[in-house]
Amino acid sequence: MDNQDSNNQASKPKVIAQIDVNIQWPKLQSRDWIEESVNDHLNCVLCGTEMTFKHHTNFADHSVVEDANCGFCKIRNRQTAHVLQ
């Protein structure tokens, strides 16, 4: 009977250590994601300066090519082609 009692005690889980975790996330100022997306589109990703947009319309191909340039960095940030419907 002693052997049976020792087997029952060995099969029971034992608490070895207890760790209490208290995570506190910092409170960050939230921005509206639409406002942030528009801000990223209109301003230079490198320096934050407002970009200059030029549009070249080709009515034969039914397309518009948009160039976005930064006046401060003096580089073309992107060129996007759009199809007219």
C-alpha span between 67 and 70 (Å, rounded): 10
DSSP lists the bridge partners of residue 10 as none
Q: Dump pLDDT digits (tens) for 13-57.
A: 887 777 777 777 666 566 677 788 888 889 988 888 999 999 999
Cα separations (Å) of 8 from 11, 12, 15, 29? 5, 7, 16, 55
| pLDDT at residue 58, as a whole number | 93
Q: Which of 82, 34, 26, 72 is nearest to 51 (CA)?
A: 72
List the chain domain ranges: 51-85
